[in-house]
């Protein structure tokens, strides 16, 4: 894998150098910027894998910069970690709401910083990864075509049924309660009765067979291990 690039945005030059030194030692490429404006410019220029963003800065503060980044198609997918000095009493927790993926309180040990960076990257890669075909048991679930194949039979499931099946199958063995399934498959702010899930499960079973989706009474459903 190519070297990962990290953009560090902070107005304290000493800290910037310290972080650069430590990240380079870990094998990252490092780009530096001293305020939000410069940060955005360099982000567009270098397309980094992750941004470390201080909140208190001159010209354009970190919060504002992140808002701008999240609104920019080119930059919106880049994971961001906020750095906050504990003296910023006001903005601390809002960072995550604005679109940060983690926030770190300065001062922080180098090892901790690095493990956080890796954790965020790992999380990101997992969600980024586009696995378009799932093969489980004797099923092949093709997300590009919304088609499920079982042996030489092909099933064209309706969208909700397909997505429900795909979600469960991609987390084989793990139980999910109805509310979680609704949030993940239907969407976070969709209001439907949770028994709707049952009906869709029923329809999937009707078409593919009873033994793929298991019921865990009182808890939810899971795809057979």
Instruction: Please name the residues in contact with 4: beta carbons below 8 A apart, sequence gap of 6 or more.
Output: 27, 28, 29, 49, 50, 121
**172: nearest Cα among 208, 136, 140:** 136
Closest CB to DNA among residues 28, 221: 221
To a second copy, the closest distance from the beta carbon of 72 in angstroms equals 19
CB-based burial, 188-223: b 16+ in 10 Å, e otherwise: eeeeeeeeebeebbeebeebbeeebbbeeeeebbbb
Dist CA 5 CA 62 (whole Å)? 19
Binding partner selected for residue 112 from a second copy, DNA, none, CB under the kind-specific 5 to 8 Å limit? a second copy
Residues 163-192 close enough to bind a second copy by CB under 8 A = 173-175
Closest CB to a second copy among residues 126, 152: 126
Q: Which of 67, 74, 135, 198 binds DNA (CB under 7 A)?
A: 198
Closest CB to DNA among residues 22, 196: 196
Dist CA 5 CA 28 (whole Å)? 6
Dist CA 190 CA 182 (whole Å)? 8
Contact letters (x/-) for a second copy, 127-156, by CB under 8 A? x----------------xxx---------x
Dist CA 95 CA 50 (whole Å)? 16
174-180 LR contacts (CB < 8 Å, sep 24+):
174/222, 175/216, 175/219, 175/220, 175/221, 175/222, 176/220, 176/221, 176/222, 177/219, 177/220, 178/220, 178/221, 180/220
Contact letters (x/-) for DNA, 132-161, by CB under 7 A? ------------------------x-xxxx
Our finding on whether 209 is near DNA (CB under 7 A) is no
Closest CB to DNA among residues 108, 216: 216
Binding partner selected for residue 199 from DNA, a second copy, none, CB under the kind-specific 5 to 8 Å limit? DNA
Closest CB to a second copy among residues 73, 130: 130
Closest CB to a second copy among residues 46, 172: 172
Q: Is 143 helix (H, G, I), strand (E, B) or coil?
A: coil
Binding site for a second copy (CB under 8 A): 86-87, 89, 92-93, 96-97, 102-103, 105, 107-109, 112, 115-116, 119, 122-123, 126-127, 144-146, 156, 158-160, 173-175, 216-219, 222, 225
Binding site for DNA (CB under 7 A): 156, 158-161, 178, 186, 190-193, 195-196, 198-202, 205-206, 215-220
């Amino acid at each position: 894998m190519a070297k990962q690039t990290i953009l560090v945005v902070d107005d304290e030059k000493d800290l910037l150098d310290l972080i650069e030194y430590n990240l380079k030692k870990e094998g990252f490429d490092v780009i530096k910027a001293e305020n939000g404006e410069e940060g955005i410019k360099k982000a567009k220029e270098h397309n980094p894998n992750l941004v470390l963003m201080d909140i208190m800065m001159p010209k354009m503060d970190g919060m504002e910069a992140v808002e701008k980044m999240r609104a920019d198609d080119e930059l919106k997918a880049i994971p961001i970690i906020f750095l906050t000095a504990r003296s910023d009493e006001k903005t601390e927790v809002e960072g995550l709401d604005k679109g940060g993926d983690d926030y770190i309180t300065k001062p922080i040990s180098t090892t901790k910083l690095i493990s956080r960076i890796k954790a965020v990257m790992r999380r990101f890669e997992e969600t980024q990864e586009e696995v378009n075909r799932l093969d489980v048991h004797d099923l092949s679930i093709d997300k590009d075509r919304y088609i499920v194949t079982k042996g030489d039979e092909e099933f064209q499931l309706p969208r909700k049924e397909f997505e429900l099946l795909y979600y469960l199958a991609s987390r084989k063995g793990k139980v999910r309660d109805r509310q979680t399934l609704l949030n993940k498959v239907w969407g976070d702010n969709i209001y439907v009765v949770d028994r709707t899930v049952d009906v869709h499960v029923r329809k999937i079973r009707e078409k593919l067979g009873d033994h793929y989706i298991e019921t865990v009474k009182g808890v939810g459903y899971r795809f057979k291990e």
